[in-house]
Amino acid sequence: MKTPYLIVLFALCFSCAPIRVNYDFERTTDFSKYKTYNYYSDLQTGLSEFDTKRLLDALDLELKARGYALSDHPDFFIDINSSSYQEVQRNTVGVGLGGSGRNVGGGISIGLPVGQGNMNQQITFDFVDEKNNKGLFWQAVSESSYHPNTTPESREAHFAALVKKVLDKYPPKF
């Protein structure tokens, strides 16, 4: 009776992949002067058209909730780039053969891969001030597991969580 509950608990714990984010910014920037934003007109995210729309919608909602407005003459532009890669498989099963006798020993061991490596996605968010020729003033690089065969609703939820985590440290407090 306990076994099904343990299996479900185990699956829930390992199915929720964390979103890791690294931040960097220009320390001399006055972040209080940035109130409006827009995206570069030639934005090439590296995502599918649907995923790009989901990501931009999530970003618009989160920025609007924080008091920023989309504008034709923005204070800063947002550039987004992404890449996907397959993680190296680390799960293996070892098969060994060995023997010894009268001070002689030997052995053979082989690691056989089990399953498939996770797909990971890295998305970089660059905030650029072109109006004042400051250039890049804030950057966030996120990494998370990526499942290409998930439902559209699941992808929307993933991008909403990712954007929330990315903007968690914007503007930086120092």
**Tens of pLDDT, residues 52-62:** 999 999 999 99
Helix axes 152-166, 49-65, angle to 10 degrees: 40
Distance separating alpha carbons of residues 98 and 124, to the nearest angstrom: 50
The reply to whether 4 falls in a domain is no
The reply to whether 40 falls in a domain is yes
What confidence category does residue 148 fall into, taking pLDDT thresholds of 50, 70 and 90?
confident
In the predicted structure, residue 63 carries a pLDDT above the cut 60: yes
The reply to whether 79 falls in a domain is yes
CATH code, domain with 138: 3.30.160.670
The reply to whether 36 falls in a domain is yes
Range of the domain at 46: 19-87+112-169
The reply to whether 62 falls in a domain is yes
Between the CA of residue 149 and those of 73, 75, 125, 129, 153, what are the distances in Å?
A: 38, 37, 24, 37, 12
The reply to whether 10 falls in a domain is no
% residues pLDDT > 70 (the chain) = 72
- If one counts the domains in the chain, the total is 1
Give Dmax over CA atoms of the chain in angstroms: 84
pLDDT in tens, 65-85: 999 999 999 999 999 999 987
The reply to whether 106 falls in a domain is no
The reply to whether 116 falls in a domain is yes
Least confident of 1-15, 68-82, 122-136: 1-15
